[in-house]
Amino acid sequence: MKKIFLSCVSVILSCVIIFNFSTQEASAHHVKVTLDGMELKKGQIGSIYIKKSTKIYNYIDGKLVFYKTAKVKEKYRVYKVNEGTKTYSIGSKQYIKISDKNITYKKVPKSQYDKVNTVHDYAYRGTYWGDSISQVKKIVKSKLEGSDGDWLMYKTETFGYKSATHYFFEKNKLENVMVSFELEDGYYSLGNMRRIHDTLYPKLKKELNTRNEGFTNENGTSTTWNLKSRSVHLSIYDNKYYETKLGILYSPPEE
């Protein structure tokens, strides 16, 4: 089953014509990572753990001025180490002295830092490029019909058609999404293929949230959008067995 759909993906990819269009769609998110019970934030380089009550400062007119007391067992995020003032920046213009003996400073591991600060573009219906298999499984609520080490297939319904949605992974990172539709007949004339394309086109365009028309081929059977966060290709075509196939391929954006 997987091999069949991989061949369909190859066919659709061979039809894609690259065009540049702007888009209004949401484009990116950051992976949520928890370290020692506290969610890491973008730009966070470390954490401070309070062993004994200690002082938090503001920096006013070139001087550290007492602001409030940090209590035992509290945790603070660190965004910068200030060599000049010998302080840790903990956000909101607040500081803790590096020399403070009542704290423990722990640096965020590079692997965790990179996860939080790497931007992931939007892929398809709540998923993002680079999502792991386990992340996609948590997001997709449809019935899982098939899977292996780098592929998931869900039974879905898309734009009024019965369909199967395939998620393809490379090294446990989401690489492509293919929606394949179930057609009532095995073979359709060119006129009927155009009709099906024209029925799906406005629905897909609306879901993509773009004002751009995309690029439609001369047969009127496929349209490609190259958007900010993804390339999208709607296509209805005949395979070598004279069977009509209908699918939408979502791929990472063209560079």
Rounded distance between C-alpha atoms, residue 95 and residue 97, angstroms: 7
Q: Taking 50 as the threshold, does the pLDDT of residue 23 lie above it?
A: no
Share of the chain above pLDDT 90, in %: 76
Residues 6+ apart with CB under 8 A from 136: 127, 152, 167, 174
The average pLDDT across 161-176 equals 96
C-beta of residue 167 within 8 angstroms of C-beta of residue 174:
yes
- What was the pLDDT predicted at 18? 37
- For residue range 85-97, list pLDDT tens digits in order: 999 999 999 999 9
The average pLDDT across 119-137 equals 91
- Which token pair is 212? 């751009």
1 pLDDT band, cuts 50/70/90, is low
Rounded distance between C-alpha atoms, residue 206 and residue 73, angstroms: 50
Q: By three-state DSSP, how is residue 122 classified?
A: strand
The 10 Å Cβ neighbour count of residue 88 is 24
More confidently predicted of 113 and 25? 113
10 pLDDT band, cuts 50/70/90, is low
Residues 6+ apart with CB under 8 A from 56: 66, 67, 68, 69, 70, 90, 94, 95, 96
The average pLDDT across 36-44 equals 93
Q: What is the pTM of this model?
A: 0.67
Mean confidence (pLDDT) of the chain: 88
Rounded distance between C-alpha atoms, residue 251 and residue 133, angstroms: 16
- Which token pair is 172? 């446990």
Rounded distance between C-alpha atoms, residue 253 and residue 82, angstroms: 38
